[in-house]
Chains A and B, each alone.
Chain A
């Protein structure tokens, strides 16, 4: 639990740390995408503006692609650039490059495209409410008993909606491709989470015209949150094509308004939940969940998001009779993609709301109702995976205790009697399975490499990127603490696909959990193999053995056996658990909710670096609270948001005091941390609003406009 400082903090502060737009190459030109402003249709004509010398521009379309016009994804259905039919607003039509970036932007702005428009689905509800609009594989978890519900059981049936959420990484997407014709190598510098995904993307689009794509990340990756998981593959493909055609290094850095319009977002959801609860035992006896996601125009990685969503959709409750159905829905909007939580925040937003709904219907306190139903040792997930610890319940107990929940409940009730404004307090819980779902980690077969130099410097080679979460500091720490090696002599190298083995993508809360724990084991293994007490002394007295390279692969625990067809078995080896209590102040005149305090208790196992972990958790909780309170990307009658002006990100004045505590930190395993803080806070805002006003709102976020409309209806 040491608080080793981040190795990159100081250069990031003084501005010397390089982000993608801070790199430059000789003769480099600038590229941009010309993308569709039509939701669905055919292109009749592209009219370039006059008064430009077209010979100065490099222009590529799908016709220039020497390889495949399909982005490698779990489902390969998305072209790099439009082929015949425009399927969504924001679809790439042309890649255009020019030495002068400003002139290029002006040229693109003035280029007019004539379309033959076809019917399009752009409205979230129109997309998700139409059962004929499904595509891809339907997932079901069928744990039904076949018994009919007892007629005395309380029946609750509700539909919950969650919005898109924009990752809003502060550094826009960007890519630099440098074609090296002599060696037939496409070198790409990327701001991305997954260098090997980018490599696959570039090699797919370039086909046999190149020998290899080498991807190296920029020093700084200015935030990602899932947004730089798959879109960079598409962007790198087009950038490479421009470099190949022009013969020059090409840099594409998206303008914020373009980034926000064309990149992936969190999937909007419609989650229908039907429950039957025994009123005497206060136990949920049967549940039926219909979990729907708006995937956008293509499936891409949505089936994986759907899988995780479905697997987390029951929240943390043991229910003997369960049926869960998950489906993807098609719309003419850019593919939705990865965002911290990956289907789980939608699941908890719905189920944690529904729990309060049932509790209110049965006139039982929401905490007490949760306690009756929460996972206990001996229970099972709907996939039949056994529950092996009571840590979720421990998180709930701790957060209730430290927030003085019951005392505040009484205080607020009294206060509300005499005030027009209202105070409220709400609970939510959540969890997150660490690493890839099911057999995913086995398939990934992650490999890490360590080189020990003559001066005893340990160089760690992993493909996992540091996008702000402090991964490269924490990963190094896990290695050097294991063998008591000096910190300054242990460094994670900048990921480069020609030097770094494929340790998998930087996603799924797997970096510390899978790669970090692997590095720790690796350190012990090297120590055993070389039989040293002190590595520096060993290297000094055995100079001829160094530099020396070591490699190790991740081996999945044999208990992880998952049937991907029937969704039965162990989906994740280890879960992080969490519970939250949020207090709000509702302003009756302006219909605004002010968050006053949020208490969060999490079990992420061993905490490697307390300050880094707390900082990451605080940031995630704020994203989660904002998901419940203010962030949305599409409004019926207005359309999609355009930038940071109309997309409401929380500022320093919007946040409550966020309290974070980690429990069960004596665990030998550091579990997933990246996503759990985002998963669970949103419904606590909704439940606190109900506590304050007695009103349930089933659509997120709880913006004043929605509250106003709701109150007017009543």
Chain B
């Protein structure tokens, strides 16, 4: 089946099995390996991307769901001014440890700062609750997002 969508601001068309996972399309067809598979069941958030501006776990989205839509991955977000700001903040706090979950955190944090952006710890915790990090204890992630809210 032919699927057309916008990936990181570019129009693309692929011919694929409609049930194929968005995660596999991004990684295999477009070699964008920032989007990671941590669990394959929508629990960990390592594969989070923006679908029409909203964070989704791409392991649970099928090709058929993205036809005519916009997908943004960590690679795309890293090119946006707000993405760059967030990366600066995560870098400054030394928040990143193993880094496997961080592209997912970048995507979710980007969505939060863009759509709400209030420097409010409870709100940030809720916004990021779909992303699991095993290394950091989350505190430096919160600190980074708070910093980005302030600077944005």
A interface residue numbers (CB < 8 A to B): 3, 5-6, 8-10, 12-19, 21-22, 167-172, 220-225, 255-257, 467-470, 609, 611-612, 614-616, 618-623, 643-645, 649, 651-653, 655, 657-658
Could you tell me how many residues of chain B have their Cβ less than 8 Å away from some Cβ of chain A?
A: 51
Return chain B residues, CB-CB under 8 Å to A21: 33, 36-37
In the complex where A9-B99, A222-B100, A256-B39 touch, is A468 in contact with B135 (Cβ < 8 A)? yes
B74 interface residue per 8 A CB criterion: yes
Cross-chain contact B44 with A170 (CB below 8 angstroms): yes
* A621, B136: Cα distance in complex, Å: 10
Cross-chain contact A15 with B87 (CB below 8 angstroms): no
Chain B residue at minimal CB-CB distance from A166: B134
B121-143 contacts to A, CB under 8 A, are 124-126, 128-129, 131-142
Most buried by A among B100, B132, B138: B100
Cross-chain contact B99 with A8 (CB below 8 angstroms): yes
Cross-chain contact B134 with A168 (CB below 8 angstroms): yes
Return chain A residues, CB-CB under 8 Å to B134: 167-170, 223, 225, 619, 623, 649
Interface string of B85-100 (1 = CB under 8 A from A): 0110011111111111
- Listed by A's residue number, 19 A-B pairs whose Cβ atoms lie within 8 Å are A5-B94, A6-B94, A13-B102, A14-B74, A19-B33, A19-B36, A170-B100, A170-B132, A171-B36, A223-B100, A468-B99, A619-B133, A621-B137, A622-B138, A644-B38, A644-B44, A652-B126, A653-B125, A655-B137
8 nearest CB pairs, A to B: A15-B34, A468-B98, A12-B99, A222-B100, A618-B137, A14-B78, A468-B97, A611-B94
B101 interface residue per 8 A CB criterion: yes
CB proximity of B24 to chain A, nearest CB, Å? 9
* A225, B136: Cα distance in complex, Å: 12
* A583, B17: Cα distance in complex, Å: 52
B interface residue numbers (CB < 8 A to A): 32-41, 43-44, 46, 73-75, 78, 86-87, 90-103, 106, 124-126, 128-129, 131-142
Question: Looking at the complex, which one of A8, A19, A651 makes contact with B132 (CB distance below 8 Å)?
Answer: A651
Cross-chain contact A14 with B132 (CB below 8 angstroms): no
Return chain B residues, CB-CB under 8 Å to A3: 94
Return chain B residues, CB-CB under 8 Å to A649: 132, 134
* A168, B134: Cα distance in complex, Å: 7
Chain A residue at minimal CB-CB distance from B78: A14
* A18, B31: Cα distance in complex, Å: 12
CB proximity of B58 to chain A, nearest CB, Å? 13
* A268, B41: Cα distance in complex, Å: 27
Question: Looking at the complex, which one of B103, B137, B141 makes contact with A658 (CB distance below 8 Å)?
Answer: B137
Cross-chain contact A622 with B100 (CB below 8 angstroms): no
Question: Looking at the complex, which one of B96, B128, B132 makes contact with A12 (CB distance below 8 Å)?
Answer: B96
Return chain A residues, CB-CB under 8 Å to B131: 652
In the complex where A15-B75, A17-B99, A256-B41 touch, is A652 in contact with B32 (Cβ < 8 A)? no
* A5, B90: Cα distance in complex, Å: 10
Return chain A residues, CB-CB under 8 Å to B86: 13
Cross-chain contact A9 with B137 (CB below 8 angstroms): no
* Extra contacts besides A615-B139, A651-B132 (11): CB < 8 Å: A6-B94, A15-B75, A220-B98, A223-B100, A224-B98, A468-B97, A470-B97, A618-B139, A619-B134, A644-B39, A644-B132
